[in-house]
Structure 1
């Protein structure tokens, strides 16, 4: 379950993930806009973005691994869409979490 965490400022949507599935690891974060291009980052990409920054739109993960952010250019203000997270088990089975109805501030 994803929950919008405090920290919605500027060109940033910040969230946490509550109760991640046991036995699975997070592998991918996705922004699925109602219109426009999908943004996909693997966890290693999001960790790198969190420590050194990158070119928006992108996901980032805080150094403690608990806070996730979607950083976007000002041209996406007001866009609506969904955040999807994909977890994978070592066997290859996947679980998908989805936060719908997100409006970028």
Structure 2
């Protein structure tokens, strides 16, 4: 099992690039697009539909690098990357790209008209 002490910034770059490439596989692009379409701009639906697909894609990759292929593994991986991105600009950039895939920017909610008195 990979630990932060064993996992270098170079390892992080390799894994992050592999994850990003995996998201670009046509089958995974379709899975993510369908999940996003079904979720729309509803944050709760994004959490219910998009996050599980994105998490599964990531888990399939990280387990090849010594992390458990489960929720605990994805948390350990994220924590390790968080530490390493502070040490290396490329790790930070790659992780930022990953975050933008998993959690694309959401538009601001429509303005609510305040009741007039």
TM-score (normalised: structure 1): 0.28
Greater fraction of residues in helix: 2
TM-score (normalised: structure 2): 0.26
